[in-house]
A and B are shown apart, each in its own frame.
Chain A
Amino acid sequence: MISDALNRIWILSKKNVMLYINRGPVLIFGLMFPFFMTLSWVIGRDISINHVFIGIVSMTSFFTATAISPVVLPIETREKSLERILVSPISLNEILLGIVIASTLYSLVITSIITIIFFLMFSIVFISLTTIFLMFFGICLMSILGSLLGVLVAANPTDRTSDVMLIINLIKFPLLFISGIFIPLQNLPSNLLFLSFFSPITFLADLLRFCVDGSNFFMYQVDIIMLTMWIVVLFILGYFLHKKTMPKRLAETKKMKKK
């Protein structure tokens, strides 16, 4: 039974990667946005290479993870393929996990490529071999977290990707600006420092700082615990919101069909 469920989740994930990796919103918000954001941040400023590395990896991981997951359900609602999935023996959990895995894999691949390129070009030095694994673990956590955030926002029962992308961008940018990527946490005023605790990117950036130059603000264990807590909260919230809004999503589809 479990192996059947895992097989279905894997098939759904493969489908999501194959169908949505080259969609407009995924390319724009997943690749182009972090690239130009980084350029505008770095050019003309005297920023250490370690700081740039931390910023690029954090942004890439977060932006790519939140690229696929919000668009799957609106597109499949519009194209009615969600109904095809729902009439087959697939549970809501499996559908959501299929989206999360696809989104996570996409984020991991892109972030890994960026990390390796940066690592080779600028000879980033890690404080120990273990911290390389810790960095990869942190990126994995952020990829899952970002995917879950996208899934949560996609609980809005709409068939328009623009609706969902608008909401996720409204959430993503404030989270990014208060995260301590652009200004290290040590240099933040106390009120902004307090706000930064509400951004998950804060904890990834802090973990990466520990890995690269040991200038972390929290203990790395705290960073991992906080990222994990975000994952648990987003997963639970996403599941219950989707369970609540799925009938409305399908009812709305029926109304739209009638129009």
Chain B
Amino acid sequence: MTFQNNNTKEISQELELGKRPIAIKVSNLVKRFDDLIAVNDVSFKIFEGEIVGILGPNGAGKTTTIRLLTGIFKLEDKANIEIFNEDITKNLSKYKINFGIVPEVSNAFSDFTVWQNLRFSGGIYGFPKEKVEKRSKKLLEQFGLIDKMHSKTKALSKGLKQRLNFCLALLHEPSILILDEPTSGLDPISVKLMRNRILQLKKEGKTILITTHDMLEAQTICDRILIMNRGKIIADEDPNTLRERFKSTSTIRFKIDGVLSNNQKNTLMDIFDNIKEEDNYYVFSSDDDIKDIFMLYNFSKENNLNISDFKVKETSLEEVFIHLIKKDSISKGGLEK
């Protein structure tokens, strides 16, 4: 199943996003490593100010797509990348200043201090020393690194290194941020800080492309999700639409204050045929949760019962992801181990 050529979806996306310009337009990306096709004819668009997440299992082609986008890998003939409607294949170095890249693993110079790394990056982008120093201090304060500015990068923890990567990526004020699994392996406090910063950057108008394995992260911060498998995009939707599209059954769980009579229990079982009792809770699966909630409400009202601790567990993005990957893998000849 491929979505990128679905005209209806593209039109609706553009309508939804109003007159926002297209920040990144990628067409026909292909990358081969010997016999392996790591990225297979990938095309997508990202609008200005959007946060788009690329999800996919290991080896799906996420990082390779990013490497193609940022010029680390050479583009094949048919491929084309436009940044704000300008073809970057003609002068990639001119457009590299549009990108701020946060890698999964720190790639700052480990024997340089935090400050030296920032000075080096600022110099490379041609900023005057005073501007680099002013901006570096601002970023170090924002990311809580100001007291580590004279520490060697190799002495920093993974979380602090990742904060430094954000500072380095933002130093030259790029309009597009590319984040390759930015919260992978970080402690919950660092993860929260990073997610808040990403949302703040969106508010500041940055366009953000993020690859992640974390479904919660994708669900909470992304405006749109591209799911990749075996080098292809197999879904391109906003998280809620994706969940709605692949919604199967919800699980409804509730508690009834007091003890039910046998008669009431029988009535309840007649209404919800798969209802079970688990640790003082009643649990049942529902194909139509709105209708079932309404019926439960009527039941409690008629029997003068008080329902408490009521929960509906909806299809999660993780379930959608697993469903799509399985479906795509089976259609292409079985699941990989």
Contacts and interface: CB of A to CB of B under 8 A. Distances in A.
Interface of A: 4, 7-8, 11-12, 15, 18-19, 79-81, 83-91, 247, 250-251, 254-255, 257-258
B71 A90 contact: no
B65 interface: no
B96 A89 contact: yes
15 contacts: A4-B126, A18-B112, A81-B107, A81-B108, A84-B103, A84-B108, A87-B70, A87-B71, A88-B121, A90-B93, A90-B124, A251-B73, A254-B63, A254-B67, A255-B33
B123 A91 contact: no
Given A83-B103, A90-B93, A11 B168 contact: no
Contact of A250 (B59, B72, B103): B72
Contact of A89 (B63, B67, B94): B94
10 closest A-B pairs by CB: A80-B107, A11-B123, A89-B93, A84-B107, A89-B96, A87-B70, A88-B124, A87-B101, A81-B109, A81-B107
Given A8-B126, A89-B97, 7 more contacts: A11-B124, A15-B120, A80-B105, A87-B71, A89-B94, A251-B33, A258-B58
Given A83-B103, A87-B99, A11 B120 contact: yes
Contacts of B58: 258
Interface in B101-148: 101, 103, 105-112, 116, 120-121, 123-126
Given A80-B103, A80-B105, A84-B107, A89 B64 contact: no
A8 B72 contact: no
Interface string B7-40: 0000000000000000000000000010000000
B72 A86 contact: yes
B81 to A, nearest CB: 14
A79 B109 contact: yes
Contacts of B73: 247, 250-251
Nearest to A23: B111
B140 to A, nearest CB: 18
B276 interface: no
Interface of A is mostly: helix
Given A79-B110, A81-B109, A89 B74 contact: no
A79 B67 contact: no
Most B-side CB within 10 Å, residue of A4, A15, A255: A15
A27 B155 CA distance: 24
Given A15-B109, A81-B108, A88 B125 contact: yes
Nearest to B124: A88
Nearest to B106: A80
Contacts of B63: 254
A19 B126 CA distance: 21
A89 B125 contact: yes
